[in-house]
């Protein structure tokens, strides 16, 4: 079976699983694994790898509207170089500090491919699930989309800029601020289009997106080959780790959030549509 | 640098790291990664893999004297087969139930080698570290040693028995019961010999082990090629996940523990010795 079917099987077997994090008595937990071949293009520094791997799990914490408490990682590599390991730890620590959490360590493992497994912990008494969106709610996103897609095109020609783009800020503070306003939320790690299909399925609703309202990262304009390509990068590529949420009061949500919030559409009864046309469930499968 | 030097670097960089778990405000966290080529011999079922991978992290929780709250895992494999995935989840869930914790889910990841990354969480207000052993304390272990070494010899000829031996019981209940009595504790995942060197370094002490007191698993007697080989399996192979601890009152500790406790020697001023001879720091490096 493919990964999505397998994830559905896991969700059916385990009560606590299913959203961006597992939830347990006020604690949320998310775990991820990233690999050199699929997640760290040539040119990615270990500093960026540590930041991004830990950041991906922190983004799941953010998507639950939880504060970040701690993160750990397993660093698996064929060899252990002191400088690389220090850079990795610095990235892991700094991304935690950015969101008010603590990087508390982890483990090392000999492995033929550079691989990082991360786990982040968060705290909330009232997690925001994917399942509460109601027709009539506004559909909003934080920040801009397409950063990671643009970064991938810059690796090899401008590694420094690509690394900068790859080190995203997990939206933990925004998630906490948005939690009282959001009826459903997730992060855009699979791309906006796929994220909306996931929200629609969990909430039993649809979405109408207005294409010209979707906030696109500056780097997309610079690296895209025309408008269609830019749209693909912003809507489908994913790995942006912005928050996608529904809210009955988008002004209040925007006012509460430390990260800019853009209303990109509305929750509808059914169907995921972009400017009236079906928006395909196509994106990044991790 | 080798893995031990790299681990020392991580420990020096991070205040919260260093023992079997990272410690953070009453919560302990441990994370591990296991791979098919190094950790799951041919014949290991996915049920056993799920049990053992999650159990390894739970054993670290036990070594801190903490109760187990939850565990998560990333299941990475080239393909996702429903039956294998269900078996894995069953093993992960059952090992958690065995120790009173909850398996709350995790993630899936496409990867060329079957790899499992696990994280376990525990709770304790007073974690038992590796650093408190005092000369004059008794040195004790739970259960028996050599199970995993014996299992490795049985894979290929008696897979069912090998799988049974591979599914160890993490000593979480024993760890909680022993915590008030133990001055220093860790688990024997690197083998008794190496564990004692680690305890000796952290506590600034030595150990005198009495060889004929070391409790050896029945399966070792059946699979060993003579007494020297049996001793190697029990003292050096490791991956047994028993608790190794120092205590001023071994009778009280044994009385409190739901798992049999054996006094195998004493804490000394310096040097790790077996029947008077140096016990080499040789064992399993994960």
pLDDT tens by residue, A92-111: 999 999 999 999 988 999 99
Q: How many CB atoms lie within 10 A of CB A59?
A: 32
Q: Is B96 left (phi over 0), alpha (psi -120 to 50) or beta?
A: alpha
Contact A13 B111 (CB under 8 A): no
CATH of domain A138-278: 3.90.650.10
CA distances from B32 to A118, A211, B78, B119 (A): 10, 43, 20, 7
Rounded Cα distance, B74 and B33, in Å: 9
Architecture of domain A3-123: 2-Layer Sandwich (3.30)
Residue in this structure with the two tokens 């620590």, named with its chain if needed = A93
- Identify which of B7, B29, B93 has the shortest CB distance to residue A72: B29
Cβ-defined contact of B33 to A74 (cutoff 8 Å): yes
CB-based contact (8 Å) between B8 and chain A?
A: no
Per the document, the length of chain A is: 286
Q: What 3-state class would DSSP assign to A237?
A: helix
Is B2 near chain A, with CB under 8 Å?
Answer: yes
Q: What is the pLDDT, as a whole number, of residue B17?
A: 57
What's the DSSP call for residue A135? Answer: T
Q: Is A9 on the interface with B (CB under 8 A)?
A: yes
A16 pLDDT tier (thresholds 50, 70, 90):
low
Query: Which distant-in-sequence residues (6+ apart) come within 8 Å of B61 by Cβ?
Result: B20, B21, B28, B30, B67, B68, B101, B120, B121, B122, B170, B172, B175
Q: Which of A2, A26, A33 to mutate to test the interface with B (most CBs of B within 10 A)?
A: A33
Best mutation target among B20, B59, B77, B107 (most A Cβ atoms within 10 Å) is: B107
The pLDDT, as a whole number, for residue A285 is 55
**pLDDT score, position A15:** 63
How large is the ipTM? 0.89
Contact B1 A113 (CB under 8 A): no
Please tell me which of the candidates A23, A24, A117 has its beta carbon nearest to residue B33.
Answer: A117
On chain B, the residues whose CB falls within 8 A of the CB of A27 are 69-70, 121
Residue B36 token pair: 């098919």
Residue A226 assigned ligand-binding role: no
Is the CB of A14 less than 8 angstroms away from the CB of B104? yes
**Residue A20 assigned as binding residue:** yes
**Partner residue facing B24 (CB), from A2, A31, A70:** A70
Q: And the tokens for B95?
A: 């090992």
Residues 229-268 of B with CB under 8 A from A: none
- Residues of chain B in contact with residue A33, where contact means CB-CB under 8 angstroms, are 74, 76, 107, 109, 111, 115, 117
Find residues 112-141 of chain A whose CB sits inside 8 Å of chain B. 112-113, 115, 117, 119, 121
Structure tokens at B55: 């159990």
* Chain-chain contact of B117 with A17 (C-beta, under 8 angstroms): no
pLDDT of residue A22: 87
pLDDT at B213: 97
Q: Does B273 touch chain A (CB under 8 A)?
A: no
Chain B residues close to A23, C-beta within 8 Å: 104
- Please check whether residue B27 touches A, CB under 8 A: yes
Crossing angle of the two packed helices A147-154 and A159-166, in degrees rounded to 10: 160
What pLDDT score was predicted for residue B16? 57
Is it true that A3-123 and A138-278 share their CATH fold? no
- Chosen for mutation from B33, B71, B80, B86 (greatest number of chain A CBs closer than 10 Å) is B33
Strand residues in B36-66 grouped as ranges (E) = none
Give the model's pLDDT for residue A20: 80
Nearest to A62 by CA among A193, A209, A182: A182
3-state secondary structure of A62: helix
Instruction: Provide mean pLDDT across the span A4-32.
Output: 81
DSSP structural state of residue B238 = -
Question: Is B86's CB within 8 Å of A14's CB?
Answer: no
What is the per-residue pLDDT for A24? Answer: 87
- Residue spans per domain, chain B: 3-123, 138-278
Q: With CA atoms as reference, report the closest residue to B191 among B214, B174, B208, B212.
A: B214
Q: Do A80 and B22 lie within an 8 Å CB cutoff? A: no
Higher per-residue pLDDT: B3 or A242 = A242
Burial class (CB in 10 A: 0-12, 13-18, 19+), B13: middle
Summarize pLDDT for A27-86 with one digit per residue, the tens. 999 999 999 999 999 999 999 999 999 999 999 999 999 999 999 999 999 999 999 999
Judged against a pLDDT cut of 90, whether residue A222 lies above it is answered with yes
Structure confidence at residue A9 (pLDDT): 80
Please check whether residue B56 touches A, CB under 8 A.
no
Show residues of chain A in contact with B72, CB under 8 Å: 22, 29-31, 119
List of E strands, chain B: 22-24, 27-35, 67-77, 102-110, 115-123, 138-142, 184-187, 206-209, 243-247, 261-268, 272-274, 277-278
Q: Is A68 helix (H, G, I), strand (E, B) or coil?
A: strand
B32 and chain A: CB distance < 8 Å anywhere? yes
Residues of the binding site of B for Mg(2+): 20, 30-32, 60, 107, 187, 190
Average pLDDT, chain A: 94
A78 touching B (Cβ < 8 Å): no
- In this complex, do B109 and A33 lie within 8 Å of one another by their Cβ atoms? yes
Residue of A nearest to B111 (CA): A35
Give B-chain residues touching A113 at CB under 8 angstroms.
112
Q: What is the pLDDT along chain B (286 residues), one digit of tens a residue?
A: 888 888 788 777 776 556 788 888 899 999 999 999 999 999 999 999 999 999 999 999 999 999 999 999 999 999 999 999 999 999 999 999 999 999 998 899 999 999 999 999 999 999 999 999 999 999 999 999 999 999 999 999 999 999 999 999 999 999 999 999 999 999 999 999 999 999 999 999 999 999 999 999 999 999 999 999 999 999 999 999 999 999 999 999 999 999 999 999 999 999 999 999 999 999 865 4
Kindly determine whether residue B35 and residue A103, on different chains, have CB atoms separated by under 8 Å. Answer: no
* Cβ–Cβ gap B2/A80 under 8 Å: yes
Residue A132 has pLDDT above 80, yes or no: yes
Strand pairing partners for A24?
A: A27
- The Cα–Cα gap between A235 and A245 comes to 15
Q: Inspect the interface and report whether the beta carbons of A13 and B106 lie closer than 8 Å.
A: no
Assign A13 a pLDDT band (cuts: 50, 70, 90).
confident
Across the interface, of B17, B35, B104, the residue whose CB is closest to A24 is: B104
């Amino acid at each position: 079976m493919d990964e999505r079917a397998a994830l559905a099987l896991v969700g059916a077997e385990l009560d606590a699983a299913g959203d961006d994090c597992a939830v347990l008595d006020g604690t949320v937990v998310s775990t991820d694994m990233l690999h050199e071949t699929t997640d760290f293009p040539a040119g990615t520094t270990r500093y960026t790898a540590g930041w991004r791997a830990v950041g991906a799990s922190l983004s799941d914490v953010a998507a639950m509207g939880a504060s970040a408490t701690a993160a750990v990682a397993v660093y698996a590599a064929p060899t252990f170089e002191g400088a690389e390991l220090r850079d990795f730890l610095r990235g892991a620590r700094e991304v935690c500090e950015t969101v008010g959490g603590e990087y508390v360590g982890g483990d090392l493992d000999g492995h033929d491919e550079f691989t990082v497994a991360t786990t982040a912990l968060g705290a909330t008494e009232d997690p925001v699930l994917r399942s509460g969106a109601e027709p009539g709610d506004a559909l909003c996103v934080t920040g801009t989309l397409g950063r990671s897609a643009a970064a991938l095109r810059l690796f090899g020609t401008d590694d420094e800029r690509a690394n900068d783009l790859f080190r995203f800020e997990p939206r933990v503070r925004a998630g906490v601020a948005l939690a009282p306003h959001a009826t459903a939320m997730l992060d855009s790690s699979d791309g906006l289009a796929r994220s909306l299909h996931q929200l629609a399925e969990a909430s039993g609703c649809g979405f109408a997106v207005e294409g010209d309202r979707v906030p696109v990262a500056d780097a997309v304009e610079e690296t895209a080959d025309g408008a269609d390509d830019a749209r693909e990068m912003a809507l489908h590529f994913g790995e942006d780790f912005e928050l996608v949420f529904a809210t009955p009061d988008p002004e209040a949500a925007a006012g509460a959030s430390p990260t800019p919030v853009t209303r990109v559409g509305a929750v509808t009864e059914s169907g995921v549509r972009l400017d009236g046309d079906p928006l395909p469930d196509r994106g990044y499968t991790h």
